[in-house]
Amino acid sequence: MNSIAITRALLSVSDKTGIVDLARTLADRGVELVSTGGTAKALRDAGLAVRDVSELTGFPEMMNGRVKTLHPMVHGGLLAVRDDAEHVAAMTEHGIGAIDLVVVNLYPFEATVARGAGRDEVIENIDIGGPSMVRSAAKNHAHVAIVTDPADYALLAEGSTTLEQRRMLAAKAFAATAAYDSAIAQWFAFADQGETFPATLPLAFTRADELRYGENPHQSAALYLPKGPAARGIAQASQLQGKALSYNNYNDADAALELVSEFRDGPPTVVVVKHANPCGVASADTLLEAYEAAFACDTVSAFGGIVAVNRPLDGATARAIAGIFTEVVAAPDADDEARAIFAAKKNLRLLLTGELPDPARPGLAIKSIAGGLLVQSRDGGRLGELKVVTKRQPTAQELADCRFAWTVAKHVKSNAIVYASGGATAGIGAGQMNRLESARIAAWKARDAAEKAGWAQPRTIGSAVASDAFFPFADGLLAAVEAGATAVIQPGGSIRDDEVIAAADEAGLAMVFTGMRHFRH
């Protein structure tokens, strides 16, 4: 049963895009058209002869359309194995006609939810008959073609289908009903029942693009987007120029965008990221000043890095960014001058994100492990009231630097240490196995930056230092003192807090506890 001519088609679609043209093409080839409700009306209005499903079943559409295709006269015509003598005899005995093609798309459940419809309307937009027909036709794809995507209508232009086509269409059909059921299950679990971690986590994603390779060239990779509405992010950004993004580009650009979004309501801010870690962050009166301060934090790591900004890009900033090799630039928008400057850099990818995502938005973070998934709520924790634990109170500037450093540290791989001064990072220590080494590395990078810039002293002098988790011993704190920090922000909660506080007091530091940590593994 390779090529099968279409003699009878059942058309029942919610999205009527292209359905009249398809029906006319089929009718011109002598195909009998069977349809339901609004689809039948649309076809008749176009002058096409259509047979109502109720003529096949002997029952009218009833219960506000809830019952119309759930009948043996329909499903027998879909499920019958045409070369099985017993099936053929049953069809003959009960007057069941074969259906060779089903064209169905489902009630707009996700769109109904997205526009904030009430519960009763949401429930009414759960399609029952449609998925049943889709699954019946897809199961019997050896004999029946099932089309769920208007993009596939062109396959039917010849009035017949091949087995290869039917197998492909069946695969798409089962994926479509699985995604549809996933959306319904998610709505019941999260919106209707208020669950955070349902017993079954039904997720559905659609492949947006196959990437050149994964984290390494021997790995394959693809980008998937969630079905239904999603927060705008790097995956939804418009790429204006440059070669296709790689797996690592997406990962690094996402890290940069997530961090710069922390400042979406703040002053002009620039983030430079390398290998998913910020290597420079700064806020200033202009984007150009912010970029220059962020870049100065680590001019070596910035080479081949990712830049994200919280304001539309202007020409002056674009010119500065283009001064070194930069992989990706992400911005809400860019003016004509900035676009022209980047256009001369054919390998630079310019991503326009539109509105920046809300850093405090709810949602789940998912990580694969061998044999399963780890799922947690997103780290949307915000700074609340800070507890001063030292004898000396922080100055207003120290407190501002503490808050800035803490915001950046949230996006640095643990163990994380961040020095900041005057709205700019002075040194960043990331991903070390102990906090002392992170503090030392951050201080060393600050000294190196000062030497390269010709500054009289590193920016850690008089800075605030943030630690993403508590100092378990005083040695990490003392390393910060040695680097010149005068204020500290950390979660607190160590059994040695008293020892650390005493060391801070002895050094004349001001220290505040947040009561919240920001591990980022």
Q: What residues form DSSP beta bridges with 278?
A: 273
Do 131 and 180 touch, CB atoms closer than 8 A? yes
For residues 23 and 27, what is the distance between their CA atoms, to the nearest angstrom?
6
Exposed e or buried b for every residue in 194-222, given b needs 16+ CB within 10 A? Answer: eeeeeeeeeebeeeeeebeeeeeeeeebe
Tokens representing residue 335 in the block:
């003016």
Cβ(411)–Cβ(259) below 8 Å: yes
Structure token pair of residue 139: 């199961």
Q: DSSP for 410-449, please give it.
A: TTSPSS-EEEEETTEEEEEE-S-SSHHHHHHHHHHHHHHH
Is the bond leading into 434 cis (omega within 30 degrees of zero)? no
- 218 included as an active-site residue: no
CA distances from 252 to 12, 58, 271 (A): 44, 61, 11
The residues, ordered by sequence, that sit 6+ positions from 196 with a Cβ below 8 Å of its Cβ are: 190, 377
| Catalytic residue chosen out of the listed positions 275, 387, 445, 521 | 275
Q: Which helix (H) or strand (E) holds 86?
A: helix 85-94
CB 145 within 8 Å of CB 156: yes
Nearest to 468 by CA among 502, 503, 509, 519: 519
Q: Is 275 a known active-site residue? A: yes
CA dist., res. 262 & res. 136, Å (int): 49
Q: What is the CA 369 to chain-centroid distance, rounded?
A: 19
Where are the strands (E) in 227-355, listed by range?
238-241, 269-274, 277-283, 305-309, 326-331, 349-352
| Max Cα-Cα span within the chain | 97
235 HSE (CA, 13 A, CB side): 18
Q: Which of 16, 139, 172, 345 is catalytic?
A: 139
Which of 407, 398, 417, 423 shows the shortest CA–CA distance to 487?
398
Q: Are strands 305-309 and 326-331 parallel, antiparallel or unpaired?
A: parallel
Q: Which two tokens stand for residue 305?
A: 């890095």
Amino acid at 361: R
Beta bridge partners of 428: 418
Q: Confirm if 122 and 146 have CB atoms less than 8 A apart.
A: no
Q: What amino acid occupies position 399?
A: L
Residues with a known catalytic role: 139, 275
